Every structure is written in C-alpha cells, then in structure tokens.
C-alpha cells in the first residue's frame, strides 16, 4: 500500500516527466524558422511551397507596407505599399533557407519589376524579406546564383524585416478549397477555379520559358 511519501515521490516523478515533455515540445517548436517571400499571387506561392518536404505551413498575407492590418482590397487597389506575400514555416533540419530561396527564384519571373505574369502592379512584385544579417547574406547569394543561371538581371529586392499580416480566411488554402465561387470561367469549386486562373495567367508557361527543367513547380 502506498504511503504519503510514496505518493509524493510518484507525483514528483510525474511532474518532472511532464516538465521534460513540455521542454521537448518547446524546443521542437523553437527549431522551426520562417521565410517571407513575395512572388505574385499568393495562392500560387502557397500552393507551391506546401508541396516542399520540411515546410510545415505556408500562410498567405501582406508585408512591406505602411498601413496596419490591411485588407485584400486595400492592398490590391494600391497605395498601402504592401506586397502579397507568403510566410513559410519550415524545419531547417529537413530543408534549409537557401534551398527554399533557390526554389523561390525558380518559381517566379525575377526579371519582372512590374508584377508577375498577368497580375500587374506594386502588390504583385517579387521580394524577399530578410530579418537578420545572416538571412540577408543567404538571400543575396541565392539572388546572385539566380542571375548567373539566367544570364539576366534579377530585380527582386531583398528587404528588411516587416510585420506580416495574414490575409482573411477566404484566401488561405484557396488552391485546395471546395467552396463554390463565381469566376470569369463560370461557377467553380475553389480548387478548379485556382487551376483555371493559374493556367490563364500564364504563370507556369513563363516560368518554364525562363527556367526550363530547373523550374521546380511548373505544371505540378
């Protein structure tokens, strides 16, 4: 039969074990990193990077502007200074920042300063947001490699840290959504509407034209 001291010992062991598990979960969470990039339509960037092994989440949103909590309409109308961006959360033990940046450059047209593909305007320009000097160094190296591989000038800016504002729920995971939406192609489920938009916008065709077999996501 347990006496009081035995019960206290069991309780103490349980508390210690719980503490170790909590610390392990915290350490695991702390290992994750984020990368914020602008690559035109955030639906497409999100869809591309959620396919990458080691990416835990990709969230569509806005960064780089001067207005707090901007709406999608405000950003696309212009004047807020924001880019459409995707914040990528990844496990660096599986995929590193440089690899993600190399994939990013080869999934966009980094020679276009006026937008991306059919989406024109400041909010659709490409950009990389680097929060530390080390991140700046990695981004600059990836940009230089992209320019060398293309043999063209890469206009994608490497910007400093900027507050990230998630877009509303309608824009998250749009590429795999099942809601019925009215589009210029007629009523479609979101996933079908996304595919039709991406093809009509010429994203994959242009990326293949630029990068050829090095394009990681075109047509996927």
Burial class (CB in 10 A: 0-12, 13-18, 19+), 210: buried
How many whole angstroms separate alpha carbon 40 and alpha carbon 203?
10
**Under a CB-based contact definition with an 8 Å cutoff, are residues 65 and 78 in contact?**
no
How many whole angstroms separate alpha carbon 217 and alpha carbon 108?
10
How far, CA to CA in Å, does 17 sit from each of 3, 8, 191, 206, 209?
21, 14, 45, 55, 56
Residue 118 among the catalytic residues = no
Phi first, then psi, for residue 141 (nearest 5°) are -65, -40
Contacts 24+ apart (CB under 8 A), 75-82: 75/123, 76/121, 76/123, 78/121, 78/122, 78/123, 80/123, 81/122, 82/123, 82/165
Here the tokens at position 140 are: 């600059």
For the annotated catalytic residues, the residue numbers are 41
């Amino acid at each position: 039969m347990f006496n009081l001291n035995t019960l206290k010992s069991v309780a103490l062991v349980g508390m210690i074990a719980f503490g170790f598990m909590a610390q392990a979960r915290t350490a695991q969470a702390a290992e994750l990193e984020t990368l914020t990039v602008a690559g035109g339509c955030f639906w497409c960037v999100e869809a591309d990077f959620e396919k990458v092994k080691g990416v835990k989440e990709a969230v569509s949103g806005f960064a780089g502007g001067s207005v707090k909590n901007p709406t999608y309409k405000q950003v696309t109308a212009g004047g807020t200074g924001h880019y459409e961006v995707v914040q990528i959360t990844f496990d660096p033990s599986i995929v590193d920042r440089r690899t993600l940046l190399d994939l990013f450059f080869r999934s966009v047209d980094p020679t276009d300063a006026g937008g991306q593909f059919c989406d024109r305007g400041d909010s659709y320009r490409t950009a990389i947001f680097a929060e530390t000097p080390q991140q700046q160094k990695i981004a600059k190296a990836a940009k230089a490699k992209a320019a060398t591989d293309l043999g063209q000038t890469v206009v994608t800016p490497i910007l400093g840290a900027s507050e990230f504002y998630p877009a509303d729920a309608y824009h998250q995971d749009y590429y795999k959504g099942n809601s019925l939406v009215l589009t210029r192609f007629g009523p479609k489920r979101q996933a079908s509407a996304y595919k039709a938009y991406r093809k009509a916008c010429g994203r994959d065709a242009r990326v293949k034209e630029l990068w050829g077999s090095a394009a990681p996501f075109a047509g996927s």
